[in-house]
Structure 1
Amino acid sequence: MSDRLPGFSTLAVHAGAQPDPTTGARATPIYQTTSFVFNDADHAASLFGLQAFGNIYTRIGNPTNAVLEERVAALEGGTAALAVASGHAAQVVVLQQLLQPGDEFIAARKLYGGSINQFTHAFKSFGWNVVWADPDDIASFERAVTPRTKAIFIESIANPAGSITDIEAISTVARKAGVPLIVDNTLASPYLIRPIDHGADIVVHSLTKFLGGHGNSLGGIIVDAGTFDWSTGGKYPMLSEPRPEYHGIRLQETFGNFAFAIACRVLGLRDLGPALSPFNAFMILTGIETLPLRMQKHCDNAKAVAEFLAGHPAVAAVNYAGLASDKYNQLARKYAPKGAGAVFTFSLKGGYDAGVSLVSKLQLFSHLANVGDTRSLVIHPASTTHSQLDDAAKVKSGAGPDVVRLSIGIEDKEDLIADLEQALGA
């Protein structure tokens, strides 16, 4: 190619991949192996000492996974990436590099219910403490900062409500506090929003969702923006201090603008072990090739369905940032001009019972706990994904008792509307 930068669709197909040098295979092979042969003893020693790049053991790295990592890093505009077993695993590995026992991180209250549960309960066993802030009140992030704060965590498009977060405003708070901004970009995908362009230092995804796109493979990924100075103030010893397990290497000093991705690999993935299967990496890579085509169809369908629901007499409210009347529409225009995503909620006039009833009457929509599939999906969060929260917390997270969440697929929009119409009528 010429020196021009490839476009998004080209990167989605080609980034990180070359024909296999041994066989000529054009599709990235599945390197289904646990470990890799060293050239000699010196080669092995250099790999284990981080003096050379290469493959050792699939828990730490694998050639199939490496293509996936390079591709997502390119799509997000990052310097490097690390693929792991799930989105939840990505969050654990990221925060392990940043937090010591007793440290805090600030999180937007509007998050996926599983993340709220993970942050509130599971992370307590590590001594990591979450402080909640309201993404609709930027000052609440400023008020939450303390000397123990080590990171801020938000979602670009919040699950389940589909609200748009003001990334740039919260990035300003993070810069002032001297901490990295972590953005979960799962619902947007880099096709709609690239958080690094708006001030994010770290991006995470559940690859299981829109990037993979077909509901067939679990995976997560961490993208390093290469924008944060990990040596400032001694806040992040995992990156700035000598690592005894690697002969005193300082990761920030040695690896520069991709030091965080290296830390996640050689300190997080190596020791915690949430490795991504090469087969799943292959499946997700295949999904990414059609990401721009799918995401546009997802968004176009979602807007049509939201408009239908907004005019239905059984519906009390529709929360979709793509609607001109929505409170997040201006933020959607700024951050996601190609579409406001495919996941949103609406509330029913009949409350909790009406929500539970609706999901049982839908025929084309699948009732399950996932989003980002080619198929349209539905769930009642208050009785499922957010059921561990009390009523007040459900409402604050956008999952009140009358709320139904939709993940709009790539079927014909007329069929989706017809299915909703019959279920609401019933």
Structure 2
Amino acid sequence: MSTPELDFETRQIHAGARLDSDFGARMTPVYQSAGFVFDSFADGEARFSGESDRGAYARTDNPTNASVARRLADLDGGAGALLTASGTAAIALTLSALASTGDHVLATASLYEGTKTLFARSLSRQGIEVELIPADSPDDVWRRAFRPTTRAVFTETIPNPKNDVVDLARVAAFAHEHGVPLVVDNTVATPYLCRPIEHGADIVIHSTSKWLSGHGAVLGGVVIDSGTFDWQGSASRFPQIALPNDHGVPSFVERYGQFAFLTYLRTVMALDYGPTLPATSAFLLLQGIETLSLRMDRHVSNALEIAQWLEHQEQVATVDYPGLVASPYYARAQKYLPRGQGAVVTFEFAGGRPAAEVFIDSLRLISRMTHLGDVRTLAIHTASTIHGHLTDAERLSRGITQGTVRLSVGLESVRDLRRDLEQAFAAVEAAGFARPVAAV
């Protein structure tokens, strides 16, 4: 179903859907099968050669997954998409497709810590160097950072957990000036709040485990290809996509045009590494996507009210939320995120770790756990968990102190959330942290 004339709220329900040909099921069926029967000798050959759009094996071609991928590509404004087993798998697959041993990737410095760990540990062992650069560095700093071996620029729309909104159009301009694609992790924003392709991104990634599925029930990831990057114009950097292979087979660009990168990702990278999303997970993800706009409106309104409340608590030293007028990213957020600035609110207790510990242990309604995008509100002390493997100096360089707490604001009554926060803050005050003191 082609839906360019329809609004987002309609497309999230209908885009990419195909009625079941056997029974006419309105819901996309779960194709719980490892493989699919060929109609004939010729059909099997066509499926393996890519001449047929019918799947050969569920590692990369499950029809349930394909339907969900079509919908996500539509919502983000891409040409096509590939589902993966997790958001981390989506990032690893994409950068491994673009870069090889000895190559270089530029990434903005403020990123989810798990992504940085992937860069520093596994990609480094593959011989891919990922260099971190502050997103708002001067133009000359950005330009000097590119090398002949640079193969991509990577960033997040709303970096987790500090919410320092990235100027996507500016970063895209640097990437394209040097002939490499911009890869954007859009997990925190979702396509409802921001569509990075409209601002110059070439490839968009989501951890679908978060707001897209929305209920904390399944893991998943997706890679969305804009279909607009000039792979042929950068053939020397990406011979695996733009040049014929050693057996004389025409390039992916020659065979698949705007789907060149996505086809390479699916038929080479995903086929070789196998980060397959189960069809049952894709089905549950689809149910979440259909209510995305409704949930995000509530998520962001709750998050803004909670952030504004936190601003006025004397135990709180700082609040990071780009929807606050006091945020240094407020103006940029209005440009890139006019519908809302996400549902992650990060704040710092002036009383440091002891105050944060009392707060976390006093919560009754809010869940103590690591995750984002759940219908439930979640809280975590990042210095002892997500950033626990870092030194104090490394944590401080990321803006993380012993008093930092991250909230993923859910869909509960905001009054009930306030009550839970108020009683937890009262416990902090009762423990002797009523007024700001030197951070511990």
TM-score range (shorter-chain normalised) is: over 0.9
Q: Deviations over 1:153-198 (max 9, x none)?
A: 0000110112211101111111111110000000000000000000
Shift of 1:418: 1.1
Contact 2:2 2:16 in 1 (8 A): no
| Structure 2 equivalent of residue 353 of structure 1 | 354
Which of 1-10 and 203-212 deviates more? Answer: 1-10
Q: Which runs of 5+ in 2 are unaligned?
A: 428-440
| Structure 1 equivalent of residue 45 of structure 2 | 45
Contact 1:186 1:209 in 2 (8 A): yes
- Aligned-partner residue type, residue 84 of structure 1: T
Q: Are positions 1:67 and 2:67 aligned together? A: yes
Contact 1:110 1:398 in 2 (8 A): no
Shift of 1:2: 11
| Structure 1 equivalent of residue 12 of structure 2 | 12
Q: Deviations over 1:74-133 (max 9, x none)?
A: 000000000010001001110121101010101111111100100111111211111011
Which of 309-318 and 231-240 deviates more? Answer: 231-240
CA distance in 2, matches of 1:22, 1:69: 22
- Aligned-partner residue type, residue 102 of structure 2: G
**Cα 1:341/1:20, change in 2 over 3 Å:** same
| Structure 1 equivalent of residue 214 of structure 2 | 213
Contact 2:81 2:222 in 1 (8 A): yes
Contact 1:204 1:221 in 2 (8 A): yes
Contact 1:106 1:141 in 2 (8 A): no
CA distance in 2, matches of 1:30, 1:267: 25
- Aligned-partner residue type, residue 327 of structure 1: P
| Structure 2 equivalent of residue 420 of structure 1 | 421
Shift of 1:45: 0.9
Which of 184-193 and 391-400 deviates more? Answer: 391-400
Shift of 1:249: 3.1
Residue from 239, 242, 250 that aligns with 2:241: 239
Contact 1:160 1:398 in 2 (8 A): no
Contact 1:110 1:396 in 2 (8 A): no
Contact 1:65 1:281 in 2 (8 A): yes
Task: State the TM-score, normalizing by the size of structure 2.
Answer: 0.94
CA distance in 1, matches of 2:317, 2:3: 53
- Count residues with an aligned counterpart: 425
Contact 1:183 1:195 in 2 (8 A): yes
Greater relative CO, 1 or 2 (CA 8 Å, sep 6+): 1
Other structure's SS at 1:60 match: helix
Contact 1:201 1:228 in 2 (8 A): yes
Shift of 1:293: 0.2
- Aligned-partner residue type, residue 264 of structure 2: A
Contact 1:84 1:274 in 2 (8 A): yes
Q: Are positions 1:136 and 2:120 aligned together? A: no
CA distance in 2, matches of 1:167, 1:396: 23
Contact 1:142 1:173 in 2 (8 A): yes
| Structure 1 equivalent of residue 373 of structure 2 | 372
Other structure's SS at 1:81 match: strand
CA distance in 2, matches of 1:208, 1:57: 24
CA distance in 1, matches of 2:4, 2:421: 46
CA distance in 2, matches of 1:392, 1:146: 29
Contact 2:363 2:420 in 1 (8 A): yes
Q: Are positions 1:80 and 2:84 aligned together? A: no
Q: Deviations over 1:338-395 (max 9, x none)?
A: 1110012101111122223321211111111100000000111111112222223323
CA distance in 2, matches of 1:2, 1:169: 31
Shift of 1:138: 4.8
- Aligned-partner residue type, residue 396 of structure 1: S
| Structure 2 equivalent of residue 98 of structure 1 | 98
Residues 110-129 of structure 1 aligned to structure 2 (within 5 Å) = 110-129=110-129
| Structure 1 equivalent of residue 306 of structure 2 | 305
| Structure 2 equivalent of residue 256 of structure 1 | 257
Contact 1:141 1:173 in 2 (8 A): yes
Shift of 1:51: 2.2
Other structure's SS at 2:346 match: strand
Contact 1:109 1:396 in 2 (8 A): no
Q: Deviations over 1:40-83 (max 9, x none)?
A: 11111121122222111110111100111000000000000000
Contact 1:94 1:222 in 2 (8 A): yes
**Cα 1:291/1:42, change in 2 over 3 Å:** same
Which of 4-13 and 338-347 deviates more? Answer: 4-13
Contact 1:342 1:409 in 2 (8 A): yes
Other structure's SS at 1:409 match: coil
CA distance in 1, matches of 2:372, 2:313: 24
- Aligned-partner residue type, residue 240 of structure 1: A
Contact 1:112 1:160 in 2 (8 A): yes
CA distance in 2, matches of 1:163, 1:50: 42
Task: State the TM-score, normalizing by the size of structure 1.
Answer: 0.97
Contact 2:3 2:11 in 1 (8 A): no
Contact 2:12 2:289 in 1 (8 A): yes
Q: Which runs of 5+ in 1 are unaligned?
A: none
- Aligned-partner residue type, residue 78 of structure 2: G
Percent of aligned positions with the same letter in both sequences? 42
- Aligned-partner residue type, residue 31 of structure 1: Y
Contact 1:97 1:239 in 2 (8 A): no
- Aligned CA RMSD, in angstroms, stands at 1.5
Contact 2:187 2:207 in 1 (8 A): yes
Other structure's SS at 1:345 match: strand
CA distance in 2, matches of 1:9, 1:333: 21
Other structure's SS at 1:121 match: helix
- Aligned-partner residue type, residue 95 of structure 2: L
- Aligned-partner residue type, residue 339 of structure 1: G
CA distance in 1, matches of 2:249, 2:390: 44
